[in-house]
Chain A
Amino acid sequence: MSALNIALVGNPNCGKTALFNRLTGSRQKVANYAGVTVERKEGLFRTPGGRSVRVLDLPGAYSLDATSPDEAITRDVCRGALPGEPVPDLLVCVVDATNLRLHLRFVLELRRLGRPMLLALNLMDQARRRGITIDVAALQARLGMPVVETVAVKRDGAEALVAMLDGAVPPAPEAGEDHGDLHAQVSALLAEAVTMPERTSRLDERLDRWLLHPVWGLVILAAVMFLVFQAVFSWAGPLQDTLAGWISVLGESMGGALPDGPLRSLVQDGLFAGLGTVMEFLPQILLLFTFILALEESGYLPRAAFLLDRPMRAAGLTGRSFIPLLSSFACAIPGIMATRSIQDPRDRLTTILVAPLMTCSARLPVYTLLIGAFIPDQPVWGVFNLQGLVLFALYVAGIVSAMGAAWVIQKLRHTEGEHVLLLELPSYRLPNLLDLGIGLWERARIFLRRVTGIILSLTVLLWFLSSYPAPPEGATLPAIDYSLAGRIGRWMEPLFAPIGFNWQICIALIPGLAAREVAVAALATVYALSAANDAEAITSLSPLIAADWSLATALSLLVWYVYAPQCLSTIAVIKRETNSWKQAGFATGYLFALAYLASLVTYQLTAWLMS
């Protein structure tokens, strides 16, 4: 039997991706359509009859009259007008059986294309639960295409669809009686084939009454956010330590097998140190992703966007920016990738540009070191702790600065015209484990692929800079002083003297470019300490820098870390997602300027107050 190319097409929130996951399992390939940042998802499966089927999961669309790059892709593939993309042999129109009023209109629009297609009535279990009855035979007769029922979240929920794919491809529906208004046709279809006790689900009504309540809605949102952060930062810790331990053991054993020399140093201090940094943050990022995915699947995240749209718009953003900015607390890279869900290109760009200001987890080691060394561990008003308050203030500084920066960017760009929200709040659904698992795996893979290449190559480069040239015979200073990195650090010193950075800090800033957290390890190297990991480095560095640096320098460095774009991976992702070196350059420039200015004010002010 010949292979079959099918495409899943339907409205957003019709359960299309769940159906795609059900059909293909883990045999999926995720990439981008050529030239655009629209995700292309393709999968493979074999029917019981032995036919191999290639499935394309098209981006959700409300209409062929596209208003976003995603919808334009769906339109072009359905019409067979996208270069390099084969015309699907069969369109599988997926609809949510509880939302036929909206979804059938798109099906009727697709029917006008005159291509072979069938209709999958998805979420049939929900429809039955709500007492909705659908006369499948009547619907099939009126639409002129086969209709199957599916329940994408059930193990055998796609069997009827798969069985149908085993047979001959149905002929293209006749559009004979199709003229005039699509909405009127949908109403006629519904009147004939569907009975529905009530228009909305009672559960949705009840949940929305609480979750969108002017007071309780915001209280619940704050509680949810607090729980997510608490979980991400307290649960991921032990996992991170374990992973870091394994990697350093692996690095040492691999390095140990090599003869002492540059190659061993490269493997141990370059490759594995770099890999370790990436992997250490993986548990935190995965945990945060799990929460975000679960909240997204449940239908809560659009509600959060609804609640926050007004304040975020005042700052020059949109309610839709909430999800990307939330992800950026783990790492700006997945956050910037998540901005694809923002329809308005101006809002998307602003969100990308301010995402690096969210305090990502990579800054934590630096904050921990400096706060531990310089901020006294004393209670404040009985309930708080000064160290905790300073950490909290650094997070708040990031958020407030992001809002301010977004506001200024919008003003500077003179963006005229309306910024549109128009966001569907889908029915609440229980997150499904298969979909969560596949979603998580996919995001983790994309993250690792993006990051490992960049970080690994940079770590190797920086390893080279800090190892060569080697110190002369009888050298007294740490080896890094004689290296290229050391020279660059000293050369940088005059520039950074006004903000209180000594040459040691300047040197540490260079490796810190690859990833912020590397700066701690670099400081340890500069101060000629041998430390096996970050935790050890922090413990032994603390007393040293507490004696060597002034409070003004420490505060200045803390503030520097709130702003400075010291993460080349982030800059690379900004370039990729905006497809513009100009925007990446702008982001780098404005963040450096902000960092320098804020550190200058902090240093000079503190020095003056302390004198």
Chain B
Amino acid sequence: MVLSDLEAGAVGTVDAVHDAGPDDLVARRLRDIGFVSGETVRLVTRGPLGGEPLLVQVGFTRFAMRRQEAQRVRLQRPGG
């Protein structure tokens, strides 16, 4: 399961951010801003049109991101 699969309002735990290609700046930036293993994230809401962008809370901060960015964030299985 990845971050973009979360329902609005749902909470998940980050497993890892995987690179979408070689030297993936976006993945590195996601790790820098707190998407690291064990961190709790919450999908606060989605944009009003087409369900994009996603508003994600990580740590104490909220970030807007598009689905493609959120797909890099793999979540741990609930209870696993």
Chain A residues with CB under 8 Å of chain B are 62-63, 65, 67, 98-102, 105, 181, 183, 196, 199-200, 204, 208, 212-215, 217-218, 302, 305-307, 309-311, 313, 319, 418-425
Residues of chain B within 8 A of A309, CB atoms compared: 47, 52-53, 64, 66
Q: Could you list 12 further interchain pairs (A-B, Cβ under 8 angstroms) beyond the known A101-B60, A217-B48, A422-B69? A: A62-B29, A100-B60, A101-B34, A181-B36, A212-B55, A307-B47, A309-B47, A310-B50, A310-B53, A422-B26, A422-B65, A423-B63
Closest-CB distance, B67 to chain A (whole angstroms): 10
B63: contacting residue among A183, A214, A418, A424, CB under 8 A: A424
**Chain B interface size, under 10 / 10 to 19 / 20 to 34 / 35 or more:** 20 to 34
A218 touches B48 (CB 8 A): yes
The CA-CA distance from A99 to B63 in the complex, in Å, is 13
Which chain B residue lies CB-closest to A214?
A: B48
| CB pairs A–B below 8 angstroms (19 shown) | A62-B33, A63-B28, A63-B32, A65-B29, A67-B28, A98-B60, A101-B34, A101-B60, A105-B32, A183-B36, A302-B64, A305-B64, A309-B66, A310-B52, A313-B66, A422-B26, A422-B30, A425-B62, A425-B64
The CA-CA distance from A215 to B49 in the complex, in Å, is 10
Residues of chain A within 8 A of B63, CB atoms compared: 422-425
Which chain B residue lies CB-closest to A318?
A: B66
B59 touches A199 (CB 8 A): yes
A200 touches B60 (CB 8 A): yes
- Write the B3-47 contact mask toward A (1 if CB under 8 angstroms, else 0): 000000000000000001000011011101110100100001101
Residues of chain A within 8 A of B68, CB atoms compared: 418
Residues of chain A within 8 A of B48, CB atoms compared: 213-215, 217-218, 307, 310
Closest-CB distance, B12 to chain A (whole angstroms): 15
A418 touches B60 (CB 8 A): no
B57: interface (CB < 8 Å)? yes
Residues of chain B within 8 A of A105, CB atoms compared: 32, 34
Closest-CB distance, A190 to chain B (whole angstroms): 9
The CA-CA distance from A313 to B65 in the complex, in Å, is 13
Known: A214-B48, A421-B69. A67 touches B55 (CB 8 A): no
Residues of chain A within 8 A of B52, CB atoms compared: 309-310
A418: contacting residue among B26, B45, B47, B61, CB under 8 A: B26
Which chain B residue lies CB-closest to A66?
A: B25
B39 touches A183 (CB 8 A): yes
Residues of chain B within 8 A of A418, CB atoms compared: 20, 26, 68-69
The CA-CA distance from A562 to B66 in the complex, in Å, is 33
Most buried by B among A102, A181, A208: A102
Residues of chain A within 8 A of B50, CB atoms compared: 310
The CA-CA distance from A338 to B66 in the complex, in Å, is 22
A310 touches B33 (CB 8 A): no
Closest-CB distance, A225 to chain B (whole angstroms): 15
Known: A62-B33, A63-B29. A99 touches B61 (CB 8 A): yes
Which chain B residue lies CB-closest to A63?
A: B32
**Top 3 A-B residue pairs of the complex, sorted by shortest distance between their CB atoms:** A101-B59, A214-B48, A63-B32
Which chain A residue lies CB-closest to B28?
A: A65
B66 touches A306 (CB 8 A): no
Residues of chain A within 8 A of B32, CB atoms compared: 62-63, 65, 105
Known: A65-B28, A418-B20. A102 touches B45 (CB 8 A): no
The CA-CA distance from A214 to B50 in the complex, in Å, is 11
Known: A65-B28, A105-B34. A424 touches B61 (CB 8 A): yes
B60: contacting residue among A65, A102, A181, A214, CB under 8 A: A102
Which chain A residue lies CB-closest to B32?
A: A63
B65 touches A310 (CB 8 A): no
A102 touches B64 (CB 8 A): no
Known: A102-B61, A183-B39, A319-B64. A310 touches B26 (CB 8 A): no
Residues of chain B within 8 A of A99, CB atoms compared: 59-61
The CA-CA distance from A240 to B68 in the complex, in Å, is 48
Residues of chain B within 8 A of A307, CB atoms compared: 47-48
The CA-CA distance from A423 to B28 in the complex, in Å, is 15
The CA-CA distance from A418 to B65 in the complex, in Å, is 12
Which chain B residue lies CB-closest to A302?
A: B64
The CA-CA distance from A212 to B48 in the complex, in Å, is 8
Which chain A residue lies CB-closest to B68?
A: A418
Closest-CB distance, A434 to chain B (whole angstroms): 26
Residues of chain A within 8 A of B59, CB atoms compared: 99, 101-102, 199
Residues of chain B within 8 A of A213, CB atoms compared: 48
The CA-CA distance from A418 to B20 in the complex, in Å, is 10
B34 touches A183 (CB 8 A): yes
The CA-CA distance from A86 to B62 in the complex, in Å, is 35
A102 touches B55 (CB 8 A): no
A319 touches B45 (CB 8 A): no
A306 touches B69 (CB 8 A): no
The CA-CA distance from A65 to B48 in the complex, in Å, is 33
B26: contacting residue among A215, A420, A424, CB under 8 A: A420
The CA-CA distance from A213 to B69 in the complex, in Å, is 22
Residues of chain B within 8 A of A101, CB atoms compared: 34, 59-61
Residues of chain B within 8 A of A214, CB atoms compared: 48
Residues of chain B within 8 A of A422, CB atoms compared: 26, 29-30, 63-65, 69
The CA-CA distance from A309 to B52 in the complex, in Å, is 8
Residues of chain A within 8 A of B39, CB atoms compared: 183
Closest-CB distance, A211 to chain B (whole angstroms): 11
Closest-CB distance, A436 to chain B (whole angstroms): 24
Which chain B residue lies CB-closest to A13?
A: B61
Which chain A residue lies CB-closest to B20?
A: A418
A67 touches B53 (CB 8 A): no
Which chain B residue lies CB-closest to A184?
A: B36
A420 touches B69 (CB 8 A): yes
B47 touches A102 (CB 8 A): no
The CA-CA distance from A213 to B32 in the complex, in Å, is 29
Closest-CB distance, A309 to chain B (whole angstroms): 5
The CA-CA distance from A24 to B75 in the complex, in Å, is 46
The CA-CA distance from A305 to B26 in the complex, in Å, is 19
The CA-CA distance from A54 to B75 in the complex, in Å, is 47
Which chain A residue lies CB-closest to B66?
A: A421
Which chain A residue lies CB-closest to B51?
A: A310
